[in-house]
Amino acid sequence: MDKIVAKKQILILVGILVLMLVAFFMLVWKPQSERIADLGNQRTAEEAKVQTAKATLTMLEEKKKSAASVEADLVRIKKQMPTDAELPDLINQLQDIADDAGVGLISIKPGTLAAKGDFSELQVNLTVEGSYVSLIDFLRRVETAQRMFKTSTIDLKVKQYPDLTMSTALSAFVMGSGESSATVPAKAATTGTTISQNVTTGK
């Protein structure tokens, strides 16, 4: 009799333990596991958002650098080939080049703007005086100037050795048809340079 009662007690205890395990699984372990899995999914999603944000930031930084480079190129091109003849600035540049090369800028005679499709070409006839070395330096500086110039013709004459007189035809370039006023720059006006101002737009 006592053995039967003991077995019943053991079975009851086993049942209670099973119920406790089931309750623990259903009420504690399973919800916690689901929560942990949900937190893991949230973490994965947030990490993906962070990676996307980093990639977007990198792309924006690259675009910013690219935009700055494009803007710098645009500024350089505008200086090389402005949208109008900008005669005062052109004359000042040539005067500065002559001063830096150590030659005397005797005369400047702008010609007619000739349309060449998307741009126009302005011929400028110059007369300068100086030594052979200084005249070569002048031509080199013209070719590497901020404004784009092209030397078309050169005519050298001996003034009084070693000084030479050089007449040269340069071409400056303008984006589009380009028109400009012909106001004498103060710098050129005070250096005694003869300036013929007859810039017109070629048709």
Tell me the pLDDT tens digit for each residue of 53-68: 778 777 777 777 766 6
CATH number, domain 87-201? 3.30.70.60
CB atoms within 10 A of CB 185: 18
Which ranges constitute the DSSP H helices of the chain? Answer: 2-24, 30-80, 87-101, 132-143, 186-189
Which pair of structure tokens corresponds to residue 100?
A: 């830096």
In whole angstroms, give the CA distance from residue 176 to residue 128: 30
Mean pLDDT by 10 residues, the chain (203 residues): 68 75 72 73 80 78 70 66 83 94 94 84 93 94 89 88 90 73 44 50 43
In whole angstroms, give the CA distance from residue 64 to residue 45: 28
Each domain of the chain, given as residue ranges in start order, spans: 1-80, 87-201
